[in-house]
Amino acid sequence: MSYLADIFLIALSAALINNFVLYYFVGICPFVGVSKRVEMAVGMGCAVTFVMTIAAFLCWIITTFILMPGAPLSKWIAGFFVPANVAAGIDLTILSYIVYIFAIASSVQFVEMYVRKFFPALYRSFGVFLPLITTNCAILFACLTIMSKIVGVDNPADAWDLGRSLTLAIFGGVGFTIAIVIMGGIREDLELCDIPKPFQGVAITLIVGGILAMAFMGFTGVDVGLRNAIMPL
């Protein structure tokens, strides 16, 4: 029961309470650049969710089996060159940024080939923003958050497993999709409004984004209250 409650709270937190875009303010580039139409926003949200899920899966495996101190694969390889006690302490987490970026770039290439073949109109509408998913900091943020929940815990029993990691990635992508679709709908309506010239374009988009962020602050503390209700001390 506690595991399922954990999964539920991670999902709710990533999608609404601690929304990647409106709480942590990561992934702002596609949030601003691909939110002019709801259709484009939905497509970008699905692409980011897919890439984030694949990247999180790869990063969890790489972190657990290669990068973290005492990881079995790095320990086994290092055992051929150094004593066993030294090999057991090998810590490769300093390489996490480079490794994660490679994993994200590989996932983006797969998505780009798929969208280009099966959804050419959507591919053309994305333009340069589809390959730029590689540099979407929301995806790297998800991977680094997962790493912190694996390597940065005092009790190894509290380290996140693959289920928790994928839950964060999937619902983090869902939260990104919710935010960008809401913004897309608002921007379509804004085209019918008489906006002062200095506020047209990116300016009004950022102002609306700030108002949305304040609205999402209303979810603050919901996860704590639910945790106390589901798993009382």
Residue 1 has pLDDT above 60, yes or no: no
Alpha-carbon gap, residue 156 to 158, rounded angstroms: 5
pLDDT tens per residue, range 137-174: 899 999 999 998 998 777 777 889 999 999 999 999 99
The residue count of the chain comes to 233
| Contacts of the segment 105-114: beta carbons below 8 A, 24+ positions apart | 105/134, 106/58, 107/50, 107/51, 107/54, 107/55, 107/58, 108/51, 108/133, 108/134, 110/54, 111/47, 111/50, 111/51
Provide the pLDDT for residue 30: 83
Separation CA 47–CA 211 (nearest Å): 25
Q: What per-residue confidence (pLDDT) applies to 169? A: 94
133, 53 contact by CB (below 8 A) = no
Q: Is the pLDDT of residue 233 over 70?
A: no
pTM metric for this prediction: 0.87
